[in-house]
Structure 1
Amino acid sequence: MSDNFIHALSGAGGGAISMFLTYPLLNISSRLQVQGSTEDTEKFSGNVDAFKKLIDKHGFAALYYGVESAVLGNAVSNGVYYFFFEFSRKAFLKVSTSNNLNTVESLLAGAFAGAMTAIITNPIWVVNTRVATKKSDDPKAPRTSALAELRNIIKQEGFFSLWRGIKPALILVINPIIQYTIFEQLKNEFQQFRILGNLDYFLLGAVSKLAATAVTYPYILIKAQMQIKKSEQEDFNSVLDGFRWIISSKGVGGLYSGIESRLLQSVLTAAILFMTKESLYKLTVRLVTFIAAKRAKPSY
């Protein structure tokens, strides 16, 4: 098994674990990002209010609506990202005299990996946004599954509607670029002094994701707005129109709706991801090495 695939598998595993543990925060942030006018039956004044109202009306399970597609999406996103990032990293190292990427090389590798991830996984996040934020006045009504929502989107809006929000998603390639560049550069600096452990990866992941999400959050919000159904809001087809619509209807502060829960979720997800990914990578390498050694050992 190639090293690229080991990185991809460990990234996918870390992504799935981190998303499941932090999903309620993402759910709340998504709902705050797309809530419309004051006539909505479920209008939230903030993060705490959203938690209380959802649990009171729908139960604790409401915090995990759409978790299946989110876990799948994060696993695939991280698997794809790590595969293409490692592919790019190795290409740069082949023509470099250094054992580590410099800042520019990290940016280019991250841009390529991020663009591939956005294009491949956008349909999963469109489905997740629809499932997680769909309103229901009847708390006992059965929830739409991710697969059923996927079929509905294709049937009602066409196959290519699964790439709604792809423009801000491609702009958001800068998010993992900032995140992984900060992470790689900090890791390279600290590795000069000591061997890093799980807590180090947790903290480095938290710091890098905090910076990336704080800078790019308005684009995250606009992407979510573009991914929901046209009938649920005034539609817009460009990022610039999105900025204009949100500012005119909600003010500049509207560009940061739900940022508190999203920042916390993003930081925890990234921290858990980097910590578990490194552990899973080392475990997978040992397992692959053990299996290879067993196969190579002659039998008598």
Structure 2
Amino acid sequence: MSGGGSSTSRSTRDLICHAGAGAAAGAIAATFVCPLDVIKTRLQVHGLPSGQRGGSIIVTSLQDIMRSEGFRGLYRGLSPTILALLPNWAVYFTVYEHLKGVLHSDGDDGHQLSFGANMVAAAGAGGSTAIATNPLWVVKTRLQTQGMRPGVVPYTGMVSAFTRIIQEEGIRGLYSGILPSLVGISHVAIQFPAYEKLKSYMAKRDNTTIEKLTPGHLAIASSLSKVMASVTTYPHEVVRSRMQEQGQARNVAPQYSGVLDCIKKVFQKEGLPGFYRGCATNLLRTTPSAVITFTSYEMIHRFLLQFIPQGEEKPSPHLNSNSNSHVKPQKANRDNSKEESDSSLQQSQSQPSKQTRIPLGNKEQLASRH
């Protein structure tokens, strides 16, 4: 996740590599862990099933989904998840790398940004991404949870979900849960700086560079940073999911009037553990997801940097003006050196005549001495 170069062509190439690698890695990870994501979202919204013990919740949930909805139920919401990842990572890395470049240019002498500066860049990128992609996450949440509400007319797909949400709830429905999503920037504000610092520590410990870290090192850094961020910020995900899910049923009043009302009711009904429903499942999902996402991202990014040719940097006008200002002095120096060489040539041509007389004189002197 290194910063881009100074030239426009290099910056564009770096941003394309960041966005492309991020989207591809995110799509791979989303496909791999989608069943766990479905279980986590349903636990966040509806809590534990009655009479269910926590030890077998994952296995039991998988069996229930397979029995009631079939194999397809394990991949509810995968299409909007993958679709959301494309603009999600494109926006995120565009803003993230730009902010890192701005913070570097504002007096950061070292190559590695400080933890605080990295938090600012990650938070700014996270806020932009949340606003741009929130409608897609609302659709994903609705598709993943509609199987648990038999009284609701189900969406037939992504287009049906978008159309009905706009018709029944307006644009506001697509931005359900936007406030907790914005609070969720604290997640990336912790995860990305921690990831950068862990990579820097490992590179320094092994006396190498960040770009040459092995996939094993990247897996350790990504898993530790993800666990740290997930445990710290998980309660906001519960509130966000519940805010996004409500409004799916027709002619039913929303259960929560707002974010504060949602927090109050969850705490009154379920206590503090209610804010951590599905956290264990989430950790089982986010740990391999983070490993797959970040390791794939780094590997794909390195490949794209080699695959996409780097544009030639055009000399700046300042450099051209400086180079032009030196043309005449250099030409004058060449002319002076030419004149000096011509004069020395003339001297060398006249010098042999003197040299032919000197040996003769020397011979006469030697003869007279003998």
Partner of 1:28: 39
Q: Is the 8 A contact 2:92 2:125 kept in 1?
A: yes
Partner of 1:56: 67
- Deviation, structure 1 residue 233: 8.1
Q: Is the 8 A contact 1:175 1:216 kept in 2?
A: yes
Larger radius of gyration: 2
Give structure 2 stretches of 5+ with no counterpart.
1-11, 313-370
Deviations 1:88-139 (CA, angstroms, capped at 9, x unpaired): 111111232111100111011011001001111110000000011102688x
Matched, 1:256 2:280: no
2:44 corresponds to which letter in structure 1? Q
Matched, 1:268 2:288: yes
Partner of 2:186: 174
C-alpha distance in 2 between matches for 1:130 and 1:108: 32
C-alpha distance in 2 between matches for 1:38 and 1:285: 48
Deviations 1:36-61 (CA, angstroms, capped at 9, x unpaired): 7979xxx9663332111111222222
Q: Is the 8 A contact 1:4 1:87 kept in 2?
A: no
C-alpha distance in 1 between matches for 2:85 and 2:230: 16
Residues 135 and 162 of structure 1, relative CA distance in 2, 3 Å threshold: same
Q: Is the 8 A contact 1:167 1:238 kept in 2?
A: no
RMSD value over aligned CA atoms?
Answer: 2.4
Partner of 1:206: 223
TM-score scaled to structure 1, two decimals? 0.88
Residues 64 and 81 of structure 1, relative CA distance in 2, 3 Å threshold: same
User: Relative contact order (alpha carbons < 8 A, sep ≥ 6): 1 or 2 greater?
Assistant: 1
Correspondence list, 1:1-300, <5 A: 1-35=12-46, 46-95=57-106, 96-135=108-147, 144-192=156-204, 193-194=207-208, 195-230=212-247, 231=249, 235-289=255-309
C-alpha distance in 1 between matches for 2:259 and 2:203: 40
Q: Is the 8 A contact 1:28 1:47 kept in 2?
A: yes
Q: Is the 8 A contact 1:29 1:47 kept in 2?
A: no
Residues 44 and 5 of structure 1, relative CA distance in 2, 3 Å threshold: farther
Q: Is the 8 A contact 1:10 1:79 kept in 2?
A: no
C-alpha distance in 2 between matches for 1:58 and 1:165: 27
C-alpha distance in 2 between matches for 1:72 and 1:198: 27
Q: Is the 8 A contact 1:47 1:260 kept in 2?
A: no
Q: Is the 8 A contact 1:33 1:225 kept in 2?
A: yes
Q: Is the 8 A contact 1:187 1:204 kept in 2?
A: yes
Deviations 1:208-259 (CA, angstroms, capped at 9, x unpaired): 0111011111100100000013347852243322221112222321111111
TM-score scaled to structure 2, two decimals? 0.72
Give structure 1 stretches of 5+ with no counterpart.
294-300
Percent identity (aligned): 28
Deviations 1:55-77 (CA, angstroms, capped at 9, x unpaired): 12222221101111112223332
Identify which range, 223-232 or 199-208, moves more after superposition.
223-232
C-alpha distance in 2 between matches for 1:142 and 1:126: 15
Partner of 1:297: none
